[in-house]
Each structure stands twice: as C-alpha cells, then as structure tokens.
Amino acid sequence: MRRNELTERFRALHVPRQPLVMPNPWDLGSAKVMARLGAKALATTSSGHGFTLGLADGGQVTRDIALQHAADICAVVDVPVNGDFENGFGDDPETVAETVRLAAEAGLAGVSIEDTALPASESYPFDLALDRIEAAVSAARSAGIVLTARADGWLCRSYDEAEALRRCQAFAKAGADVIYAPLVNADTTRALAATGTPVNLLAAGAMRDLKVEQMGELGAARISIGGGLARVTQQVIIDGTRAMLERGDFTILSGAADLAVVEALLTE
C-alpha cells in the first residue's frame, strides 16, 4: 500500500472518544507480531529501540539510525507506522522541519516531536517550543504526514501540568494533528480534548489502570504504550537471568512463548 494511503488511513483512525490502540514495537519481530495480532497502527519507541542497540533513552540514537529503523519496520508491516522521533534530532525549527520531511520519505504515516532538549531533558522555552511545532506543522502538511506535538516537560518535571496544557493548546492552535502530554491527569485530558484536536494518551501511571473505554470517556482518540511493553520483556530478562545465575532456577522458562505460534505469526 502506498504511503499516502497509509497516512490517510492513520488520520482517519483518530476519532475522539473511540481511541485507537497503537502498540509500540521495538524491532522487526515485535512489529510483525503486533500487526498480525490485529494492531491497526504501530509506533516506534525510542527507549525500546535504544535498548536493542545497547543504548539508554534520550538522545542517544542518531537521526539516521532512527530513520532506518522506522523504514525497516514500515517495510515488514502493512499498517500505518508513527515515528517516535524525540525532539526532532535538533534544537532549531529548521532541523525539526527537515526531520519531519525525512520521516515521510522513510515511509512513516506519522511522526511525534517533543518539546524537550536532549540529552539534558530540559524543556525548550515556550516561544521556541511553539516555533519548532509551527515549523513541523508546515513540513508535515507539505510532506503529507500526521504530526503529533508532544509536551514532555511534565513527564520530565521541568514544568507543571498547567504548562503542559498551555503548550498543547498552543500546539493545537498551530495546526498539530494530534496533541500528547504524557502522564497528565483525567481533568487535564478532558481539557486537552476540548481543543478539538485528537489527543494521545499514554497507558502508564494512573492511566495504565483504565480500560480503553474509560480512556475514551476522557476524550482520547489514541492510546500508546511507549516503551512499556519493551520494558516488560526487559524485566523478564532481568528476572530470568538473576534466577539462573544466582539461584540456579530455570523455572521462568516455563512461561516461554510457543515457538510454533511465534513462527506462524512471523511467516503468515
């Protein structure tokens, strides 16, 4: 399917109060499995991808590597893919715009841009953050890609929840297709939804305990998991390795996936 068709499909999946569940694979195998199990769209995860390279999250992966990773995932699934491209791999609006254009060329249907400088995890001043999103919006419209504008300062504790709302409202007014402030509460989520711009919710923190329908009642149009599922697998690696090396205990392997099931998902 051509990228512009995937982009339009992706855009149409964002319906307030009827949220799209968008899992985040971290490699080609997890992407193929998630798509074959029925995911209607996927998103890369910077932290999950970084782990596969032996790197910590937050500005450690280069733009070229992230673009190739995204292109590789797009090549093995037939659903829209959104790219987690952190701060756009640069501080200035021009670099962000270039990243958005390159994301489209890589085959992505969507791209997410944060308002946090990396690797320091400090939020950009409001005016610069808005300039960056305005540049991204212009590039996204020209390239035909869905732009998600993220207010991550609340997640990094560099500003409060009210500022996250203010920034997302400004991003929506600037023309972002989706707005996203990780870990905000229910009241803030409702206020975000009141902008009329589709809202992404992260299934983490208190939101992790809600069902899809409950997140929809808050006004969400999309639900992502970030690196959550990748970290679940990482915890299994930690627990299993400790059990084997420290206690000589291999019973964790009894929970292994059926090889035939996995291979069927990878080859069907």
Those residues of the chain that have pLDDT short of 50 are: none
Q: Residue 56 has what pLDDT?
A: 87
CATH of domain 3-227: 3.20.20.60
pLDDT at 1: 63
List the chain domain ranges: 3-227
Structure tokens that stand for 242 in this block: 């400790």
pLDDT of residue 103: 99
The confidence score (pLDDT) of residue 212 equals 98
pLDDT tens string 3-47? 899 999 999 999 999 999 999 999 999 999 999 999 999 999 999
pTM: 0.95
What is the structure's pLDDT at 9? 98
In this predicted structure, what is the pLDDT of residue 170? 99
Question: From CA 181, how far away is CA 220, in angstroms rounded?
Answer: 12
Instruction: List CB contacts of 99: < 8 A, sequence separation 6 or more.
Output: 63, 85, 88, 89, 90, 111, 113
pLDDT reported for residue 57 = 85
In the numeric block, the tokens 């059926």 are attached to 258
pLDDT at 167: 98
Q: For residues 6 and 186, what is the distance between their CA atoms, to the nearest angstrom?
A: 31
| Residue 100 burial class via C-beta count within 10 angstroms: exposed 0-12, middle 13-18, buried 19 and up | buried
